[in-house]
A and B are shown apart, each in its own frame.
Chain A
């Protein structure tokens, strides 16, 4: 079974530039997450999708970050304009789980995109 795919793996940009990350979840997984992991910290949830709808984006800096999952499969996370503090690893994860009263299903993480903002 193929895992969660992400691209690019590495990206170096200058502050105020734009950048986009792509994620392809495990086939059949309805839920998709984007996390930001700053060096030495645990992953921080940015946004959660259920199919193509947003479930939680309370921690997404909406003045500069945007994300979409138009067809309920692939997702794109964009930063515009980037700041120095956006340097981090951006992890995409997916799970089979559906909403409805149970606990979060196991989340499977992709390899991440390492972003360096200069």
Chain B
């Protein structure tokens, strides 16, 4: 049931764009995106809801394809501060009865 993230790692130059994917074998109710820097707690970025409603970070966007059961996180004109590990957390049903299931993460390194 753990979502699969791709790529596992990516190295970019500052200013380049990145796409991180999250795929599930089960139908999803919502997808939550977090960024974690080394030795720190995960920080919330974005939530994608079934039906298309979206909330989140002003400089990062995301999509949620319910039919394909996948979500993608888009980072445009990447900055050095974007470096870290990105996790998607998936929710199978609404109502808060089940916890988030996180993927293994995508390591993003931004070089100057």
Contact = CB atoms under 8 A, between A and B. Distances in A.
To the question of whether A and B form a pair in one complex, the answer is yes
A110 B41 contact: yes
A111 B39 CA distance: 8
Size bin of chain B's contact surface: 20 to 34
A103 B91 contact: yes
A105 B29 CA distance: 13
Interface SS of chain B: loop
Contacts of A41: 104-105
Contact of B44 (A31, A33, A55, A108): A108
Interface of A is mostly: loop
Contact of B99 (A33, A105, A108): A33
A7 B101 CA distance: 24
Contact of A109 (B41, B49, B91): B41
Interface of B: 2, 29-30, 32, 34, 40-44, 47, 49, 87, 89, 91, 94-105
Interface of A: 4, 31, 33, 40-45, 48, 50, 55-56, 91, 97-112
